[in-house]
Homo-oligomer: A and B are copies of this chain.
Amino acid sequence: MSAHPVPTLALRLARLVPGMGVLDPALARAIEHEAVAVERPAGAVLFDTGSPCSGLLLLEDGLVRVSRVAEDGRELQLYRVEPGETCVLTVSCLLGRADYPARGVADRAVQGVYLPAPLFERLSAASAPFRAFVFQAFSERVTSLVDLAAAVTFGHLDRRLARALLERVRTSGRIVLTVTHTELAAELASARESVSRLLGGLADAGVIEQGRGTVRVLDKPRLEAMAGGAPLTH
């Protein structure tokens, strides 16, 4: 397809993992053999509740939403995985040989490098930078999960909504978000009507501006104040 040579998997991996420059040749060969280049379209289910975990996907591009689904169909977004990040649950399941307790869906088309479990273990045993990378990301996620639990318990919906909006501003880099009230409600495990009412309030207060399927953030500082100032993964 491509006229120019595609980077090797080891190279693509090295780009994702800071400090992982020089590799043992045997290890590099193992990567070429065992790692897999992955591309999935938006909407694809990457893993689901109860399914076993066979390896770790390192994201180069796209966005993955990881969410817990209740019996009644309601859904709580646990976190989102962006390029350069890792999926805690996947690492967790790999380390503990457990099944996934949640669902991962490609929010935007996904491209990355997939490391099957044996390769993952070999890498984490052999490469300190790889370990550091995985566990650093891991650590941030655990904190964010704790934050989530606290936000759901203490924080009221307005606060969580503010956080969700800020999160989207941060990851998209734009202040005009293309998101429907229904989507936000699903993300927060709430009801569309509640979200609509709150957004209406924010619009009245001049914090945001609404369009059909869009939200424009006008007053980010105010939104941050509402979110409660809690540090949400830089």
Q: A residues engaging B (CB < 8 A)?
A: 68, 70-72, 74, 76, 78, 88-89, 92-93, 95-98, 101-102, 125, 128, 135-136, 138-140, 142-143, 145-150, 152-154, 189, 229
A148 CA to B76 CA in the complex, in Å? 12
Residue of B70, B95, B146 touching A150 (CB-CB under 8 A): B70
Does A135 lie within 8 Å of B78, measured CB to CB? no
Does B70 lie within 8 Å of A154, measured CB to CB? yes
A74 CA to B156 CA in the complex, in Å? 14
Q: A101-B143, A146-B145 are in contact. Are A153 and B76 (CB under 8 A)?
A: yes
Q: Distance in Å from the Cβ of A72 to the closest Cβ of chain B? A: 8
Does B68 lie within 8 Å of A136, measured CB to CB? no
A152 CA to B96 CA in the complex, in Å? 24
Task: Report B-chain residues with C-beta under 8 Å of the C-beta of A88.
Answer: 142
Does A143 lie within 8 Å of B98, measured CB to CB? yes
Does A145 lie within 8 Å of B145, measured CB to CB? yes
4 further A-B contacts with Cβ under 8 Å, apart from A76-B150, A92-B143, are: A92-B138, A95-B139, A96-B140, A152-B153
A71 CA to B155 CA in the complex, in Å? 11
A138 CA to B147 CA in the complex, in Å? 17
A147 CA to B92 CA in the complex, in Å? 14
Does A68 lie within 8 Å of B138, measured CB to CB? no
Q: Distance in Å from the Cβ of A68 to the closest Cβ of chain B? A: 5
Does A189 lie within 8 Å of B98, measured CB to CB? no
Q: A95-B135, A95-B138, A154-B189 are in contact. Are A68 and B146 (CB under 8 A)?
A: yes
Task: Report B-chain residues with C-beta under 8 Å of the C-beta of A96.
Answer: 135-136, 138-140, 143
A147 CA to B102 CA in the complex, in Å? 10
Does A76 lie within 8 Å of B149, measured CB to CB? yes
Nearest 6 Cβ contacts at the A-B interface: A96-B139, A95-B135, A92-B142, A70-B154, A92-B139, A149-B149
Does A71 lie within 8 Å of B229, measured CB to CB? yes
A128 CA to B124 CA in the complex, in Å? 11
Q: A89-B142, A149-B152 are in contact. Are A95 and B125 (CB under 8 A)?
A: no
